[in-house]
Structure 1
Amino acid sequence: MTPALPAAVLWDMDGTLVDTEPYWMRAEGELVREFGGSWTDEDALQVVGAGLWEAAAVFQRAGVDLDADTIVARLTARVREQLAQHGVPWQPGAQALLKSVRDAGIPTALVTMSVRSMAEDIVAAIPFEAFDLLVTGDEVAEPKPHPEPYLTAAERLGVAIGDCVAIEDSVPGLRSAASAGTVAIGVPHMVPLDPAAAQVIWDSLDGRTVDDIARVVASARETA
């Protein structure tokens, strides 16, 4: 039987493809403390997966006396600095699964709320042509959890959103993917995920291949 391959696989970046959340948390803490505020790990978890400009309002309430654009630019620059210094921290199995998908000829998009410059840093570190396009947080009107980022990716790829698989690690990201109409795979990292919001929850991407994705698609079609 021919595997039930998706029309495209849409990837989140931070926390899903790469483990950059500790870099973000460090950058956030440094910025808030610079303005005399306090920033805990619990505070940081509240903005995991959120749009950067929406998160900027949280930092302003924590005492950061800067406009939203400057906050986003400062945080992004600090994270990119850490990437240059320490390298790209890939999530276990992420590159191998992405390569398996590409080898199967399936279109891919990176759908991230990070800005394009940072996304391009990550993509440049992948040793093969990984993505057909990028949808980034500085290019959409509505960030995750709104469905726009995933709908935009499907439209630009020229595929039906209901035939796409999305891979997400955060609550806002999973809500975005599910509300857009994708077959959503949740892979929790920093925060727990609601199983009801995903077609399936995987503990990790480690050891996963395109065949596992095909089985998720087949299951989704059986229950549709």
Structure 2
Amino acid sequence: MSSLQAVFWDMDGTLVDTEPYWIEAEHELVEAHGGTWSHDQAQLLVGQALTYSASILQEAGVAMGNREIIDHLTQRVISRCRQQIPWRPGARELLEDLNAAGVRCALVTMSFKPLAQAIVDALPADHLEFIISGDMVSAGKPDPEAYHTAFSTMAADHTERTGEELHRARCVAIEDSVPGTAAAAASGMVTLAVPHFTPLPDTGQWHLAETLHGLRTADLQNLLANAPAPITA
């Protein structure tokens, strides 16, 4: 069996439970502009690119530019995270186990760099090697660009570091949302979907798990032998 080489982590809803912080910030912003924001509307933005979310908030009555909305929401979520980072069950323990096993890890998120960096900084320095964030790509999830970029970034020095090339079929992406799992699967990586705020269909394109709690490196390794057929994009 081929060994697990790398794990690419989504952030919001997968590594940290920040979706309630985003939804709270969206409610506050829409209401401050005289509009209303429902739970169903908020659910539609889970896992989406922030530029898309900003456009939907504008349709709901927020009279601000895209970047203004993104910066406002991001700062609100960073502020909440400075009070308490809501880690997802089992996420830090799995990261620790992967690190001990020598499996490389990186973050692939649609949040912008300031928030992503705040989360990475709260972890041991060697647990997540780099960040690919929503402000570093031209197309957000469900487009696979972020995962393609992350793979290329890690592949650039993988042979020098390990003596072997990086292969997509030996990489696992962990996601929680419909856009995220679609992006990861389309990148050709083995995808582990751990639904949180939104249900995920069992399409055969990814593996489903109820939680990361109790999962270890060996469990992700086992996914490689039973990976769904890759989707290329």
TM-score band by shorter chain is over 0.9
Maintained 8 Å contact 1:174/1:197: no
The reply on whether 1:132 has 2:93 as its aligned counterpart is no
The reply on whether 1:209 has 2:206 as its aligned counterpart is no
The reply on whether 1:150 has 2:147 as its aligned counterpart is yes
Maintained 8 Å contact 2:2/2:170: no
The answer for the alignment partner of 1:171 in structure 2 is 178
Maintained 8 Å contact 2:110/2:140: yes
The answer for the alignment partner of 1:192 in structure 2 is 199
User: C-alpha offsets along residues 85-108 of structure 1, whole Å, 9 cap, x if unaligned?
Assistant: 2x1100000000111111111111
**Structure 1 residue 191: deviation in Å?**
0.3
Equivalent pairs: percent with the same residue?
A: 42
Rounded to whole Å, the distance in 2 between the matches of 1:78 and 1:88 is: 13
The answer for the alignment partner of 2:4 in structure 1 is 6
User: C-alpha offsets along residues 3-44 of structure 1, whole Å, 9 cap, x if unaligned?
Assistant: 643221000000000000000000000000000110111110
The answer for the alignment partner of 1:93 in structure 2 is 90
Maintained 8 Å contact 2:30/2:36: yes
The residue type paired with residue 153 of structure 2 is: R
The residue type paired with residue 74 of structure 1 is: H
Instruction: Decide which of 37, 53, 56 is 1:55's aligned counterpart.
Output: 53
Rounded to whole Å, the distance in 2 between the matches of 1:64 and 1:99 is: 41
**Structure 1 residue 128: deviation in Å?**
4.9
- Partner SS, residue 56 of structure 2: helix
Please tell me the root mean square deviation across aligned C-alpha atoms, in Å. Answer: 1.4
Unaligned runs of 5+ in 2: 156-165
**Structure 1 residue 199: deviation in Å?**
2.9
Rounded to whole Å, the distance in 2 between the matches of 1:180 and 1:142 is: 13
Number of residue pairs matched by the alignment: 220
Rounded to whole Å, the distance in 2 between the matches of 1:185 and 1:111 is: 14
Alpha carbons of 1:152 and 1:184: their partners in 2 closer, same or farther (altered >3 Å)? same
Rounded to whole Å, the distance in 2 between the matches of 1:197 and 1:99 is: 29
Maintained 8 Å contact 1:150/1:177: yes
Rounded to whole Å, the distance in 1 between the matches of 2:51 and 2:206 is: 29
**Structure 1 residue 219: deviation in Å?**
1.4
Q: How does 1:50-129 map to 2 (within 5 A)?
A: 50-85=48-83, 87-129=84-126
Rounded to whole Å, the distance in 2 between the matches of 1:39 and 1:162 is: 41
- Partner SS, residue 211 of structure 1: helix
Rounded to whole Å, the distance in 1 between the matches of 2:78 and 2:213 is: 25
Greater shift after overlay, 188-197 or 137-146?
A: 188-197
Alpha carbons of 1:186 and 1:196: their partners in 2 closer, same or farther (altered >3 Å)? same
The residue type paired with residue 5 of structure 1 is: S
Rounded to whole Å, the distance in 2 between the matches of 1:60 and 1:197 is: 36
Runs of 4+ in 1 over 6 A off after TM superposition: none
Rounded to whole Å, the distance in 1 between the matches of 2:170 and 2:220 is: 12
